[in-house]
Structure 1
Amino acid sequence: MIETTPGWLSTDELETARAQMPILYVEAVPVRVDECGEVISIGLLLRIGPDGTISRTLVSGRVLHHERVRDALLRHLEKDLGPVALPRIPASIQPFTVAEYFPTLGITPYHDPRQHAVALAYIVPVTGDCRPRQDALDLVWFTAQEAASPMVQQDMPGGQGVLLKQALAHVGCLS
């Protein structure tokens, strides 16, 4: 089947592109904040991978051709967290870090066996009701200490645990 949605590649076209060039992604760490803007909890998605393994992940997805990064971020937050999550995208769309995923292990802490991907990573407060959709089974809220624990970190594939720890450090949640 050929995808007719503008900006999407067919499966074959995507595989060809992934084999030849880096693909741009956005990743988001959904957080709840108190009235002073301090992070009080971090949301992690529970997913089943293609191989049947269960993992915890961040909101993540490709940026489409001719799509603004801000729009891609909103689209993936709504896709994964539901239409009433009410994310607060920052006025400045500068990421807290850039994560470069390689198909070869060990080049960076980030690994994606399918491709070389460059991900702009954001911390996004959400204020609404989050109800996971698409391929996410659940969204679980953790304290910063729980999210940084070895038990949670071991369930995060491809270096996303490293990215989560960077996000926690960025907002002052790791000592």
Structure 2
Amino acid sequence: MTNPTNTRTLIAALVPGNRVIVHHAPYLLRTAGTAVDETFVLGVLCSMPCDWQARRTVELNLTFEQLNLLAIPDPGQGHPVRDRVAEIAALLAAQDDRFSGWAADVGVPVGSASDEAVKEDLICELDACVAHLYGLDEHDLAVIYDTFSETVDYSDRHAAVLAHFGRLAG
């Protein structure tokens, strides 16, 4: 369940194997592609630019129909920013030993983003990378962070994202 006043609308997660998912939780199951492809999609779905897109249509809960409407930018395998999105998502998702097999498949150590400052920086870099892949500019990022929530001040996060975004553009 979600609504437009929650701090996030689209809450994506990597679910460990052999778990049950409730019927009202839309999920994606990889039937083709690689673990890195899966991780890239996870990274995009966890980003603020993608969440902002979802927020335009979601009222009470995210449905499969709304999930299918989300645009997922994909420049193709081997693109350096795509690769970085996948790496960041993997570092953030591989939190403990439940994900050790998956982490080995995507080439990251388990628990490497446990420091809160490192985690926050990775989240901001993820937002910047995904914004870059969407073809957004600094004005677009301002719209996202200025209009995302009426109750949360995202100015610090916006500034950190812009710092990463500037390195991508430069």
Instruction: Indicate the TM-score class for this superposition, using the shorter chain for normalisation.
Output: 0.3 to 0.5
Q: What is the TM-score when the length of structure 1 is the normalising length?
A: 0.32
More strand by percentage? 1
